[in-house]
Amino acid sequence: MLEYKKLLCYDIVKRRKETMNMKRWLCLLLVISVVMTFGACAKESGESDVTTSGKTTTAKATTTTQAVTTTEANPFEEFMEITWLTQYGDRHVDGRWDEAELEERFNVAIEVWHNDSLNKEQMAALVAAGDIPDFFFMPASPRDPYGMYGEKLVRSVPLEAIRKYLPGQYELMEMMPIGFSYNLVPDKTDEYIGLTHIGMSGAQYFYDATCVNLDWLESIGYEVDTDTLKPVKISTEGFEWMNDNLFVGELDFTFEETNDIMRKFTEDDPDGNGEDDTYGMVYLPESNNTNMTQEGLFGFVSDWRYLYKDPNSGDIVPRFAYTPYRDYLAWISDMLTKGYMRRLPGELNWLVEWQAIAQTNKVGIMQAHRTAYMMPSNVTYVNYPPASILVNTDKESRFVIGMLLNGPEGRTNCTYDIDVYGTGVYRVDYFGGEVSDEKMARILQMLQYTTYESEDNYNKFKFGLEGTHWKWAGEPYMSTMLTTTEADLPEKFRGWPATFSLWVTYSTADKETYDGEKNGYWTFPGYAYATNLYERYACIPEKFISDIYMGQEMGKAYNELNAKLSGQINTVVNDFKNRAIKGEIANFNTEWVQYIDQVYAAGLEELVDKFYNNPEYKKYDPGDKFKLRGRP
């Protein structure tokens, strides 16, 4: 296929050159014709009467015309073959519309590898074999970005190349200068290990939301005034019947009420089937999926990079040494012991198990995705509650999605990214180690075209073709995109639509707020933007573990020491947590004191003294990240 593409592109280039040569000859003939005509006219009318000292003489004006032909250099004259890897590449259709457009416009042949870069086994095999594409996104990489660079599997990207060939990205970095500090090559200030993802929206929205069964609440005596909520209108065609089942909003159940609801969901037969088969919640491993419904109720979040000032010691510490973590584990232990909360079977991937359990509609309080319920036709998101329940189990159930519960001291949550920029395997696109400057420039120009050239191009190469993959629900550029179910697309239009665009997202605050207020398409982020939930409830850590805030020298020293100590620290931490979850800790206050002594002795004290409490380690400041409202 690649050889065929190459021959085809050579043929296209040849025909283009022949056409260009023909046009140049025609232009030259036209210029000669104009010159000859102008000369003839000059001979006929180029004589004029001139009066000098009373005498009239005839002067002949001679005009010389020289034709100058300027040929603009073709920046894409050299044909190039480019290999490309992205997530869901196994679903890519070769020769698809976007691939064909880029190949013709940039004189390249693109080979999209049919691998899924989210698949750890596949990526480990590629890296082990040194089989590296020219341009790729590899979130399941067995190496972190600096490991990839250190092994010369990827090459660096000069800042000047970004400025020259990817000016859209450079302009965003100028607007948010902290971006110039992300993913720098060690000891460099103008060279990067790859292209950093820019997620304006990701630094604002919460990944998760809490979902509660409204029918169950009413059954156990908790009446909710739905007039205070926003009824959700589903934007996906064919699923309008869900409109009466979903609400989004903010409720304010106290911690005592939260515990009472979990008890009654377990003991009071909320679904009225006469069987003891319901319960309050499933305990999930702490992650982006659980922040709002679990740990956020106790003032901290799942992200291990967040550091907190402990109210007892005054030290700046990770969550596992933060006193509210003790109270969180005590609560989990109590709920599990009483059966109001249950664990996953632990036989399969946790997400697969959780989605299967949620779909049964036997759990009252569920950890939900922020927008999955708005995309019931999506083959991935339809597996998340409450869409999974409505589509597959019970079309009559009603649910409220949002920020609903409180912990002992209130609630908090974690924005998907702490900054507009990010680090790690999920936040960097790479160039293969063997890619030349010329090929890198060509790829950057392609990415400029797909991502920054225009809003229309951005939408096209990120979401697909308007009218085929999606259409506007209302006002263009402000309303929701109504997506076409992939199964309803012709095969040539299927697959991951964002194969050739960069991971750049703009703030959707204005758009989602407008879409909710104008059309009723209330995503949870849209509601949160409209009511300022993010600024009110986003967790603001004391410090954030990153070279960006530590500085490269301190960051390097920290990484080395942490790698040395983390094993023994984690042994203590995991033992305490496992005993808590199994109900083996009788007195959390007493055992917490012993646990803290052990974890400090295992190495935390050294990390605290050298790094976490170090005044040169900058505190985290969210700045104006919640002020962003749309595309710059």
What residues does each domain of the chain span?
80-196+428-502, 208-415, 544-612
pLDDT at 7 over 60: no
Model pLDDT, residue 70: 59
* CATH code at 208-415: 3.40.190.10
Query: Where residue 176 falls among pLDDT bands split at 50, 70, 90?
Result: confident
- Average pLDDT (492-505) is 92
Mean pLDDT of the chain: 89
Domains 80-196+428-502 and 208-415 share a fold: yes
Question: Which residue type occupies 347?
Answer: E
Q: What CATH class has 80-196+428-502?
A: alpha beta
In terms of Cβ atoms closer than 10 Å to its own Cβ (0-12, 13-18, 19+), residue 595 is buried
H-type alpha helices, 306-402: 323-338, 350-359, 387-392
Q: What percent of the chain has pLDDT over 70?
A: 89
Query: Where residue 480 falls among pLDDT bands split at 50, 70, 90?
Result: confident
What's the rounded Cα separation, in Å, for the pair 22 and 540?
A: 65
Spatial contact of 319 and 308, defined as CB atoms under 8 Å apart = yes
Per residue in 417-458, pLDDT tens? 899 998 899 999 999 999 999 999 999 999 999 999 999 999
pLDDT at 408 over 90: yes
Backbone angles phi, psi at 47, to 5 degrees: -95, 140
pLDDT at 491 over 80: yes
Q: What percent of the chain has pLDDT over 90?
A: 77
Query: Where residue 69 falls among pLDDT bands split at 50, 70, 90?
Result: low
Backbone angles phi, psi at 602, to 5 degrees: -75, -10
Spatial contact of 330 and 363, defined as CB atoms under 8 Å apart = no
Question: Which residue type occupies 502?
Answer: L
Query: Where residue 66 falls among pLDDT bands split at 50, 70, 90?
Result: low
CA-angle at 435, arms to 434 and 438, nearest 5°: 145
pLDDT at 485 over 70: yes
DSSP labels, 349-362: -HHHHHHHHHHTT-
Query: Where residue 544 falls among pLDDT bands split at 50, 70, 90?
Result: very high
Spatial contact of 115 and 90, defined as CB atoms under 8 Å apart = yes
Model pLDDT, residue 305: 96
pLDDT at 20 over 80: no
Q: How far is CA 145 from CA 113, 134, 195, 206, in A?
A: 20, 15, 11, 25
Per residue in 551-561, pLDDT tens? 889 999 999 99
- The whole-model pTM stands at 0.75
Our CA dihedral for 573, 576, 579, 584, rounded to 10 degrees, sits at 180
Model pLDDT, residue 43: 34
